[in-house]
Structure 1
């Protein structure tokens, strides 16, 4: 699946090169292949680059729902089927069999987990340890290139440990090739040790990574990718979920597996400094925010156009996927392309829509009225580049979706599943249509806009109030979409609320909201991951171009405090090396 700009190999070739055990148990119990196979891998540049391609393949995830192998997705894809927004106040995944529903009804459990890539991460980590152990033996590469391959591998190891840290807290650290005479049942490490391990891998990788990757090499790790990963890790580490002496649930002597065990404001300083280094790198690497596509196009261009100047690191696919297959089928409304009816699309909640200001920076009232079209037209330009509302454009084939009650068989007219009254459009390429029906599903994992918001948040938290640098960072993001600067004189909590709202808008549907909610520990607030999810019902007004709308609760969700972290799967717990997270 991955196109890491290395030699593309078939799965049969990869299996010939290296044994690809799926489960962590295999990692711990078996050597990574016979000696002759390893000798072959490290006998030449071409062979070792094929091995590196397999590390990217297993180690770099997609935020898109890629289905499962029997539905045409590669064997190691994210098989959750859809994006995680449907488990938050962003949206509802309309098909009731999607994984987000486990969170909405609080049924997620060790037997019903939501982490299809758990075993793949340890496969990637195992491969990294082999690379680090033997890459210096390759005869036809320079020392500098060997160091780059080590750095790329360390970045991928750090990426996978971060993905586990944000889900589980502390996890087992495997930093070398295990021998059969070692203790092969590695226990969980503390949150602090895992964070330090991620940061160490990033720090060691940064000097040997290229400042940028261009052309066919896009998709391989850069200095900016490692800096961005370090910054995000430290932001999470400084946040309430982990930066505390009292975890979300008492875990007795194991508290440090799920939090630091102390609260330290200096962690916010580390996060701010790390975010600033991303911004400094961006200037050197010619990485910049999109500002030349117009206020009504900048934001859409930044998420829709692959390899644009704002993207720091992306999962790069090589296979074009059709509109009737994942991930596109999980996003598009069922009546736009009827073959997708089983997936039912992603409907955006009023909970999210109400976070959009108008273009003067004012909060918008959504209590009901006869002015729906005018209200939507007044919103922040990012709204129409993220969401499709009534009579708004999907693409050239469907220039006006009909979302009112009793709208017949028109495009988008299946209001029975459009619970929110709005459809998600972000992530779905404009060009997919009846004539162009396949598109490679790249997934942006790190983008420059996040670095500005990370910097603003960390500065405010560390200083217990916004500095000018914090204002400048958040206003830079707002300005490129035409929003006015934030008012000056905001207090600590007022600025925090603005930053959090800005993240909800700017980073919507990019895989951030679920984890932001948990690290801020706001899931239990009404309408976040608990309580009423709001939508609107839309009605025609006779002889008028306007439409009446009425807000309503389409779903009431449940949240248990145990859900601030994921459960480990029963199969992993039964292997005897893990302590389950509390409450499961």
Structure 2
């Protein structure tokens, strides 16, 4: 089912048939130099709407719950996912342009700050910092006042409490992966309270997130995969817990030697104990539980569209059975607005001009195997079209390449350089295509010229393919590739399920191009979750971001040249596009100078 512009009636259908029309006036902020954690202390009601009014009936409560979803559920695609004249949230573009996946072609996007190594306390890209704390405040208000609502059943009350706690856990995880330990807000704060709550240790924050998830789980809906799309349920709890534990188990956090020495504050940025395999074991167990939940609740990997279409169907089709949770609070966006303006090439869809699109880099394209499971060399030559035609089928379902089909209006993508000797002009779509490829994933072929349409982004936060990959990674680290340890699959079996639905051969024990199974797991994760807001975080939690060609050093593209017009033949040449800078401090985000100056935060090391 494809979504149309989301009006209040549609929003009610997506988040809950019980939620009333979204008319709550978004809160005005109470901002002063003493306001901690962004706009945490903004007052929930505005105008004549009081807090007592909000908690006077189930109808009013559901309106407030809608605002928690609106503030607390983010988009992975980088656009204004909080719609109001008061709050304008621009998360810029997708993070692919800040790692080896791609280049964000317009140089004014904040992703380029990472590439320059110029991220600092005065140059950060976390525009949702305030909104997370506003969402957390709303949760604490709900937990404090929900028992005052007279016309609500205990079962429904407990369900809303559970949903609110899960949203709080999600927002704290989003902060944990950026900053490490953060101030923990367990109860409501008033203006006369001590607001200078210090950062909790990473272990304390991790425990708090897991506690919220565990407390929420029993009262959540079993699933919300039909008319409740976008609402928190048991599958989301398991998916989030799987991801939280995977990050906790990873080298960035699972150590007593952090990426930079922070002295007495090491416990803010790592677990501050020697590597503990228990985190990997727990991550594997929860991912296994999520896979079993999926089997019992109508959530499954897309395998019935054919190997040439399964993958694209899984990211393109709204509300398909592979999606566990998608952000549903946003309406359609014109092609000149985010996220489209930073993704769609202006030479293909008019209206995205000025931002130029996202171009995958050769660094990333090299990760695609051929269809026999072999690594592919990209050293230049006359075999470009044949080479691309024989790549892993996920390549053509993700990336637009020379002579590929975009949609019925652009049946041939033209990415060649001009050749005066052959009388060939430059391809129509080569402008600003630094990598020699365009990103096509995330953009439905149904988006056409002219640009007066408003397509709704399919912003997926949790999808079942990720859970299989979480499971494979955790299982391999804890038990190796072939020890089932009582779970449904081995790590190898989980990887092969993902590969084979796109026609890639199974990786047999002792065979294949990856003698190191960890390398295989990481490469498979890169390909399957390409451009889904994972790679930027994965390479940092694995602590490989500083390696050449990842977030540091040389980034390559290809240039394509005609060698014959009849028949069409091309040669390609790899070239150095740019050198990027990554320093160790960039394994975590900095806090803004404004927040640090409020006196409650210790800045992360190196900033």
Same topology, TM > 0.5:
yes
For residues 402-434 of structure 1, give each alpha carbon's deviation from its aligned partner in whole angstroms, at most 9, with x where no partner exists. 000028999962424101000000001110102
Deviation for aligned residue 1:324? 2.3
- Decide which of 46, 52, 55 is 2:65's aligned counterpart: 52
For residues 200-251 of structure 1, give each alpha carbon's deviation from its aligned partner in whole angstroms, at most 9, with x where no partner exists. 1111111111111144421111110011001100000000000001000000
What residue is the counterpart of 2:341 in the other structure?
329
The 3-state SS of whatever aligns with 1:553 is strand
For residues 137-195 of structure 1, give each alpha carbon's deviation from its aligned partner in whole angstroms, at most 9, with x where no partner exists. 21222110000100110010000000000000000000111245542111000111111
For residues 462-482 of structure 1, give each alpha carbon's deviation from its aligned partner in whole angstroms, at most 9, with x where no partner exists. 125543511111111001001
TM-score, normalization: structure 1?
Answer: 0.94
The 3-state SS of whatever aligns with 1:439 is coil
1:65 to 1:75, Cα distance in 2 relative to 1, 3 A: farther
Give ranges in structure 2 of 5+ residues lacking alignment.
1-5, 485-489
Q: Does the Cα contact within 8 Å between 1:66 and 1:73 map onto a contact in 2? A: no
What residue is the counterpart of 1:373 in the other structure?
385
1:75 to 1:102, Cα distance in 2 relative to 1, 3 A: farther
Q: Does the Cα contact within 8 Å between 1:67 and 1:82 map onto a contact in 2? A: no
1:415 aligns with 2:430: yes
- Number of aligned pairs? 578
The 3-state SS of whatever aligns with 1:340 is coil
- Decide which of 414, 421, 424 is 2:439's aligned counterpart: 424
Q: Does the Cα contact within 8 Å between 2:38 and 2:133 map onto a contact in 1? A: no
Give ranges in structure 1 of 5+ residues lacking alignment.
none
Give, in whole Å, the separation in 1 of the partners of 2:38 and 2:99: 35
Give, in whole Å, the separation in 1 of the partners of 2:481 and 2:37: 48
The 3-state SS of whatever aligns with 2:586 is helix
Alignment of 1:499-514 (within 5 A): 499-514=521-536
Give, in whole Å, the separation in 2 of the partners of 1:267 and 1:102: 33
Deviation for aligned residue 1:440? 1.2
RMSD: 2.3
Deviation for aligned residue 1:77? 5.8
What residue is the counterpart of 2:250 in the other structure?
239
Deviation for aligned residue 1:27? 5.3
1:114 to 1:409, Cα distance in 2 relative to 1, 3 A: farther
Give, in whole Å, the separation in 2 of the partners of 1:138 and 1:402: 61
What residue is the counterpart of 1:359 in the other structure?
371
Give, in whole Å, the separation in 1 of the partners of 2:413 and 2:179: 41
For residues 482-510 of structure 1, give each alpha carbon's deviation from its aligned partner in whole angstroms, at most 9, with x where no partner exists. 11111313799711000000000000000
Give, in whole Å, the separation in 2 of the partners of 1:569 and 1:99: 15
What residue is the counterpart of 1:551 in the other structure?
574
Deviation for aligned residue 1:39? 1.1
Deviation for aligned residue 1:541? 1.4
The 3-state SS of whatever aligns with 1:134 is helix
- Decide which of 459, 464, 468 is 1:452's aligned counterpart: 468
Give, in whole Å, the separation in 1 of the partners of 2:304 and 2:42: 54
1:141 aligns with 2:152: yes
- Decide which of 100, 104, 116 is 1:93's aligned counterpart: 104
The 3-state SS of whatever aligns with 1:341 is coil
1:467 aligns with 2:483: yes
- Decide which of 465, 478, 493 is 2:499's aligned counterpart: 478
What residue is the counterpart of 1:40 in the other structure?
53
Give, in whole Å, the separation in 2 of the partners of 1:199 and 1:124: 18
Q: Does the Cα contact within 8 Å between 2:41 and 2:137 map onto a contact in 1? A: no
Give, in whole Å, the separation in 1 of the partners of 2:459 and 2:169: 19
For residues 310-364 of structure 1, give each alpha carbon's deviation from its aligned partner in whole angstroms, at most 9, with x where no partner exists. 0000101441112222211211112112432211100000111110011110111
Alignment of 1:67-82 (within 5 A): 76=87, 78-82=89-93
What residue is the counterpart of 2:487 in the other structure?
none
Comparing 31-40 with 225-234, which one deviates more in the overlay?
31-40
1:553 to 1:30, Cα distance in 2 relative to 1, 3 A: closer
Deviation for aligned residue 1:545? 2.2
1:387 aligns with 2:402: no
1:9 aligns with 2:22: yes
Greater share of helix: 1
Give, in whole Å, the separation in 1 of the partners of 2:458 and 2:187: 31
What residue is the counterpart of 1:529 in the other structure?
551
What residue is the counterpart of 2:299 in the other structure?
287
1:409 to 1:25, Cα distance in 2 relative to 1, 3 A: farther
